[in-house]
Amino acid sequence: MNKLLVLVHRIPYPPNKGDKIRSFHFLKQLAKHFDVYLGAFIDDERDLGYTEEVKAYCSGIKLIRINPTYRTLASVKGLLMGAPLSVPYYDVPDMHSWVRETISQNNIEKVFVFSSAMAQFVTPYKELSIVSDFVDIDSDKWRQYAEKKAWPLSWVYNRESEKLFNYEIFVTRQSEKVLFVSQKEAELFTTLSPETADKIDFVNNGVDSNFFTPNESFSNPYKENESVILFTGAMDYWANVDAIIWFVEQVLPLLREEQAGVVLYIVGSNPIAKVKELQSLADVIVTGRVEDMRPYLQFSKAVIAPLRIARGIQNKVLEAMAMGKPVVATSQAMEGIDAQTSGVRVEDTPHYFCKAVIEMMKLGFYRPENREFVESGFSWAENGEKLVSLIKQDFLKKNQLNN
């Protein structure tokens, strides 16, 4: 098999966050077609125990533990260099050394880069063919952050948006292909950078619908007679924090007036202090990390995704739909999904979001049309094969040129 260098900013296991879900399923698919040499960082000590799971897919591997606090301090040198802070954050000498040795010792010709900041390790090697997965337009996400923050953070975030966009353009020009998580995201980047349009493509996210499926053996994690609406996601991620605080402050008071007995469960890892404080409300439960999200999904009456800052495709929405759950989401959360089913409502104002939650809770626990929608267009196997074909096309072109 052809050899492929794969660089990921975070160890692609366990698949418990949006980026790790995508990178893990891509790694699985790539390992079926290539000898994979994987370089990745570990930024959570709990992930140290999963190295063997990742090694199973690799012919060679380099996992480097990084301290997020120290790396945040190191990223400040981007201010002096006129660079985006995201690039020096991952500028770790040991990874540069491993990449250089791996390319030399294994005659690597092709690289798959997951996250634009990881491209810094391979752009100096002009002989390499690079396919980059930006996933989202991260520079635009920083622009959205800036709009929500006061000075001086607004200045820092606006600067990061500008500098990171320039870096995204640089990486795009160095790559054979640059991929995004949805057609809509790819079209937006093409609008922002029309001169690189011929290099832009997309590979959708997916859902393991065999895993995310209702199961009679699940035990109900909720208290008897609780009427549950559910929000899921990593609760140290600012977009999730912003979403749930907006819901609790703007929507939940309206919901209390019209629907007695509703309880909001916030289920996800690493809840920050601001999220934990919400538990002072009698109808809000913050669980922290759970071993299996499926019982929480299955026994909830509706799943909410009130994101106001988002890019790309939200895995939390796809997973809920795969479980057949009624979903109420903002337009930001549904970007790239375009689910025209009776089991999904999209609203952006507190009043109408509240009305939609009440209506969806009346639909029943299971909406088969949501599951059918996901199964028809969001298969990890099919989307992973699209990625493989894009990389193989480039190998084929290179071989034809050599012959």
Predicted local confidence at residue 56, as pLDDT: 97
Greater model confidence, 394 or 301: 301
Mean pLDDT, all residues of the chain: 93
Helix, strand, coil distribution of the chain in percent, nearest 5 = 50, 15, 35
Instruction: Determine the average pLDDT of the residues in 275-286.
Output: 96
Structure tokens that stand for 91 in this block? 């500028």
Tell whether the model's pLDDT for residue 302 goes beyond 70: yes
The residues pairing with 60 across neighbouring beta strands, listed in sequence order, are: 37
Structure tokens that stand for 380 in this block? 């990890």
pTM, whole model, 2 decimals? 0.88
Q: How far is Cα 334 from Cα 363, in angstroms, rounded to an integer?
A: 20
Q: Is 104 exposed, middle or buried (0-12, 13-18, 19+ CB in 10 A)?
A: exposed
Structure tokens that stand for 97 in this block? 């050394």
Q: How far is CA 119 from CA 74, 86, 87, 91, 168, in A?
A: 18, 12, 9, 10, 10
Q: How far is Cα 136 from Cα 237, in angstroms, rounded to an integer?
A: 15
Tell whether the model's pLDDT for residue 1 goes beyond 90: no
DSSP SS3 for 322: helix
Q: How far is Cα 73 from Cα 68, in angstroms, rounded to an integer?
A: 9
Predicted local confidence at residue 319, as pLDDT: 96
Q: How far is Cα 8 from Cα 19, in angstroms, rounded to an integer?
A: 10
Q: What angle do CA 311, 85, 200 make, to 5 degrees?
A: 45
Contact 341, 388 (CB under 8 A): no
Domains of the chain and CATH, by start: 3-206+379-402 (3.40.50.2000), 227-377 (3.40.50.2000)
Residue-wise pLDDT for 50-90, tens only, equals: 999 999 999 999 999 999 999 999 999 898 888 999 999 99
Predicted local confidence at residue 300, as pLDDT: 97
Contact 22, 180 (CB under 8 A): no
Tell whether the model's pLDDT for residue 29 goes beyond 60: yes
Residue-wise pLDDT for 127-142, tens only, equals: 999 999 999 999 998 8
